[in-house]
A and B are shown apart, each in its own frame.
Chain A
Amino acid sequence: MKELVILSGKGGTGKTSIVGSFAAIAQRKVLVDCDVDAADLNLLLNPTIQEENEFWSGQVAFIDRQKCTECGLCQELCRFNAITDFNVDPVACEGCSFCSHICPVEAITMQDCMAGQWFISSSKYGPLVHARLGIAQENSGKLVALVRKQSREIAVKEEFDYIISDGPPGIGCPVISALSGADMALLVTEPTLSGIHDFERVLSVCQHFDIPAMVCINKYDINEDNTRQIEEFCLNQGVQVAARIPFDNVVTEALVQGLPVVEYSKGEVSQQIESLWQKLSEKLGR
């Protein structure tokens, strides 16, 4: 069983649209949405929730004003400026619990946070593990690790060949959590200067963690000079460009219909995505 994670650095390059199409093409797989603070894959797969769970993670400080003597030590020591006028700002609080240890009258307790929910769903494309991080919550990395673990358990139990993971944008905590230990990353980029800049950074993250990567250039015809620049860069880095997908409104039209684009159109975009999956699955093996 192999795990493929789709990343991009820059947001909006087409990760989820491509994963949605892989869902329709690939056999014997579980899908997992690791973009837990803006999960969208469910909008394409139209899943039915089978199992709903709470995600408890992290803590937030609470000051008992009956006990508080307003000595001010907690405010002085908090490095996150989370305490003003002897009240805790739960958004600023990082849950370090420092204040609860130093309060001379033990007026501060730490309370557990319900930091989100996670779901196991069924869809006509197979099982989907997804989540919703609570608004303004931290610990997205831990929630990513949790949904990945669940997807792995399903894949093992069902003897699936693939875990296909829709990754978050960026290169920080949730990306590292989605990437570490995966078998391969597909990096979806676009031929814009910012797309290239972000792609180079996320490729460096893959190299840093020693995860092999393949590249897909989406909307390649927006700027073919930039596309050639990406291809040259990839050649120098020894990274394969496995697909060039043209810009086409059918991708948005399919999305509006709530369908993976390969089920909506048989045009160039869909052909490219199908051939991309072929190349990926050959490279991944089983």
Chain B
Amino acid sequence: MIISVASGKGGTGKTLVATSLALSLKEKYRVQLLDCDVEEPNDHVFLKPVSTYKETASVMIPEVDDNKCNYCGRCGEVCAYNAIAVVKQKVLIFPDLCHGCGACSYLCPEKAISERANGIGVIEKGYADSIDFVQGRLAIGKAMAPPIIRRVKELVDNDRVAIVDASPGTSCPVIEAVRESDFCLLVSEPTPFGLNDLMLAVEAIRKLNIKCGVVLNRVGVGDSKTEEYCRRENIPIMLTIPLDTEIAYLYSRGITLAEGMPQWKNKFLELFDKILELTGDGN
């Protein structure tokens, strides 16, 4: 089973929820945590995993054999991203624009284009106690997160409860992270920003046909409109976490709820039971 954790708005507590859920479940289940917020991965700050494996995440980009190329320009015509262009007797390649679709090399009439891996980040594997851990990390100055996310998700272990921590927002990196999950937890807060971004996230999750529920964090300030919205839209509120200086302080030191306040473990176990119920896996 794959549970994704997403939010729309940043800083609502995705990482807190994903790591606390993983730590709460680990005594009863085999658990895997995959950090797909590859621009700013933070789960490792809380889990402090032992690293066991590292690979470069890359996009396959074209490389032109000057001896074979006759500068016909076909590669530039077929590239949808302007990542390759023929200017007079020279082929220009822009690695950061290339999505690695392979069209140029396949369609080159002279078979002059081969492909090579262009590193854009790293994939790391490891463990924290019995939790299997995977994260992707986009390199500084690189733009393209989705290929790294795709690679992280290839490492999902189907024999474990896989928890996927997504990035904030509703665009391609989030979609890539939450796709194919059985349930999506949307972490929000009771403020106008929290509500607005939750509504966008719900729209995206529904478009993907994924069941979802809400974790409402920092309850106590703000207003009741986020709750009202959930009720109106029939989105279950799976867990509420109060605005609490102790939780904030623990978080600031990289300590999860499950560890810093162990009474929360049961709440996360109950949250998981609700997910099983809603996905029909509870029997």
Complex CA gap A286/B62 in Å reads 44
Complex CA gap A253/B191 in Å reads 9
Tell whether, in the assembled complex, residue A226 and residue B252 are in contact, meaning their CB atoms are under 8 Å apart: yes
Interface residue A71 (Cβ < 8 Å from any Cβ of B): no
Please count how many residues in chain B sit with their CB below 8 Å of the partner chain's CB atoms.
60
- Chain A interface category by residue count: 35 or more
Interface residues as binary, B138-175 with A (CB distance below 8 Å gives 1, 0 otherwise): 10111111000000000000000000000111111111
Among A79, A247, A252: residue with most chain B CB under 10 A:
A252
Complex CA gap A173/B171 in Å reads 11
Beyond A43-B196, A79-B102, whether A136 also contacts B248 by CB under 8 A is no
Interface residue A256 (Cβ < 8 Å from any Cβ of B): yes
Question: What residues on B are CB-neighbors of A177 within 8 Å?
Answer: 143
Question: What residues on B are CB-neighbors of A16 within 8 Å?
Answer: 193
Interface window among A22-30, A200-208, A264-272: A200-208
Beyond A37-B170, A96-B81, whether A135 also contacts B203 by CB under 8 A is yes
Tell whether, in the assembled complex, residue B45 and residue A194 are in contact, meaning their CB atoms are under 8 Å apart: yes
Taking the nearest CB of chain A, how far is it from the CB of B47, in angstroms? 12
Interface residue A55 (Cβ < 8 Å from any Cβ of B): no
**12 A-B pairs, CB-CB below 8 angstroms?**
A9-B39, A10-B42, A38-B200, A43-B196, A95-B80, A97-B80, A140-B172, A170-B39, A170-B40, A253-B221, A255-B193, A256-B222
Residue numbers of B with Cβ under 8 A of A are 7-12, 15, 38-40, 42, 45-46, 78, 80-81, 99-103, 106-107, 138, 140-145, 167-175, 179, 191-193, 196-197, 200, 203-204, 207-208, 221-223, 245, 248-249, 251-254
| Seed contacts A92-B179, A194-B251; 16 additional CB < 8 Å A-B pairs | A12-B12, A37-B171, A38-B9, A38-B10, A40-B192, A40-B197, A94-B99, A133-B170, A135-B200, A172-B144, A173-B145, A191-B252, A198-B40, A208-B140, A222-B248, A226-B253
